[in-house]
Amino acid sequence: MGKGFDKISLVAKNYADALISLAREGRVSFETLANDADTVSKVFEESEDFRRAMLNPVVNVDVKVDIINSVFGGKICDELINFLKILAEKKRLGEFEQIKTAYMQELDKINNIQPVTVVSAIELSDEKKRIVVEKLRQKLSKEVRPLWHVDGEILAGLVFKIDDNVVDMSLKNRIDKLSKNLK
Tens-level pLDDT at each residue, the chain (183 residues): 334 445 788 999 999 999 999 999 999 999 999 999 999 999 999 999 999 999 999 999 999 999 999 999 999 999 999 999 999 999 999 999 999 999 999 999 999 999 999 999 899 999 999 999 999 999 999 999 999 999 988 888 889 999 888 888 877 877 877 777 776
SS3 content of the chain, % helix, strand, coil (to 5): 60, 15, 25
Kindly list the domain boundaries of the chain, sorted by start residue. 10-109, 113-182
Write the DSSP symbol of residue 155: -
Q: Is the dihedral of CA 100, 102, 106, 111 positive or negative?
A: positive
What is d(CA 160, CA 114) in angstroms, rounded to the nearest whole number?
A: 12
Sheet bearing 143-150, strands edge to edge? 143-150, 113-120, 157-162, 165-170
Residue 57 neighbours by CB under 8 Å, 6+ apart: 91
What is d(CA 169, CA 21) in angstroms, rounded to the nearest whole number?
A: 40
Residue range 10-109 in CATH 1.10.520.20: yes
The DSSP result for 7-34, as a single string, is: PPPHHHHHHHHHHHHHHHTTSS-HHHHH
pTM: 0.75
